[in-house]
Amino acid sequence: MNLFIFWSISHTMTDKLYINNYIIKTTLDDDIACRLTSEILDESFSVIKSFRDNEKCLVTTFTTGHMPGIFVLKVPKARFSRYWERFLTLFREGEPLRQFSNMLKLRELGFRGPAPVLAAEKRYYGYVCDGFIAYEYIDGRQATPDDAHIIAPELIKLLKLGYIRKDPHPRNFIIKNDEIYFIDFNIKKPIFFNKIRCMMEFCKFLERAPEGASYKSNLIDSNAVFLIAKYTQQTVSSFRRTRRKIKMSFTSKG
């Protein structure tokens, strides 16, 4: 882990800042946070590689003269254009600030993941209309279903704490030095039906990585509850696939 980020998280976690009409959450000193925010808004940082840049999302790695290391900049553009998500931000933080908090929470729980550096959001008449998040770049390889034997134990640890990470696809894990890092996650502790929801998450993981089934006994203490969770997850997955096909059909006709 970048020593600069480790020092920042350990010593300078702050409340929200307000910079250039943006609400900021950061693990940096205020002065560095201001400079980095301005650099991102001005697009004066040094791009290393752009992984995605379309109408839905921008994801790129970059360096900055304000601190050592390589970082990821993510701008979830689609989140700011969907009317329903805009409406929800009237009552909660936008995606960048929530992702920032999720990254801190994951590390607080003892799991490996990117160290958050800075997140920002701008509001217009109360709803979030713009924002971004910058975090540590994990230099490893993307996991595959063949890595289920490494992923499953860590995922089960999280589920046994009562948390789900959403979208537990193998590609959303990075392997570095034979250790698993969580990426692209939103962790949540369901209030209702927690046990079944956690089992559903593991069933969803098994849909993509069936090799992880041998670890099922580490999570499951009731076959009946597991069967309910499995059936429910299969129903949800089937519904989503059908909805996606219908949506694609209408799109192609248009």
**For position 8, what pLDDT does the model report?**
42
Task: Spell out the long-range contacts of 67-72 with Cβ–Cβ below 8 A and sequence spacing 24 or more.
Answer: 67/4, 67/28, 67/32, 67/36, 68/2, 68/4, 69/2, 69/4, 69/5, 69/136, 69/137, 70/136, 70/137, 70/139, 71/117, 71/134, 71/135, 71/136, 71/137, 72/114, 72/134, 72/135, 72/136, 72/137
Smallest CA-to-CA distance from 132 within 167, 107, 103, 96 is with 96
Secondary structure class of 152 (helix, strand, coil): helix
**Which amino acid is located at 78 in the chain?**
A
Q: Is the pLDDT of residue 246 over 90?
A: no
Task: Give the angle subtended at the CA of 33 by the CAs of 100 and 75, to the nearest 5°.
Answer: 45
pLDDT in tens, 124-165: 999 999 999 999 999 999 999 999 999 999 999 999 999 999
pLDDT in tens, 208-227: 999 998 898 888 877 888 88
Q: What is the pTM of this model?
A: 0.85
CATH for the stretch 3-136: 3.30.200
pLDDT in tens, 48-72: 999 999 999 999 999 998 889 999 9
Q: Is the pLDDT of residue 87 over 90?
A: yes
**For position 48, what pLDDT does the model report?**
96
CA-atom Rg of the chain in angstroms: 19
Judged by average pLDDT, the poorest of 5-9, 77-81, 129-133, 191-195 is: 5-9
- Contact between residue 172 and residue 140 where contact means Cβ atoms under 8 Å apart: no
**For position 180, what pLDDT does the model report?**
95
Give the domain ranges of the chain. 3-136, 141-250
Q: Is the pLDDT of residue 15 over 50?
A: yes
pLDDT band at 9 (very low <50, low <70, confident <90, very high): very low
Judged by average pLDDT, the poorest of 7-16, 106-115, 185-194, 195-204 is: 7-16
Judged by average pLDDT, the poorest of 19-23, 235-239, 250-254 is: 250-254
Q: Is the pLDDT of residue 109 over 90?
A: yes
Encoding tokens for residue 202?
Answer: 């593991």
**For position 242, what pLDDT does the model report?**
80
**For position 3, what pLDDT does the model report?**
38
**For position 2, what pLDDT does the model report?**
44
Cα 49 to chain centroid distance, Å, stands at: 20
CATH number 1.10.10 given to 141-250: no
pLDDT band at 253 (very low <50, low <70, confident <90, very high): low
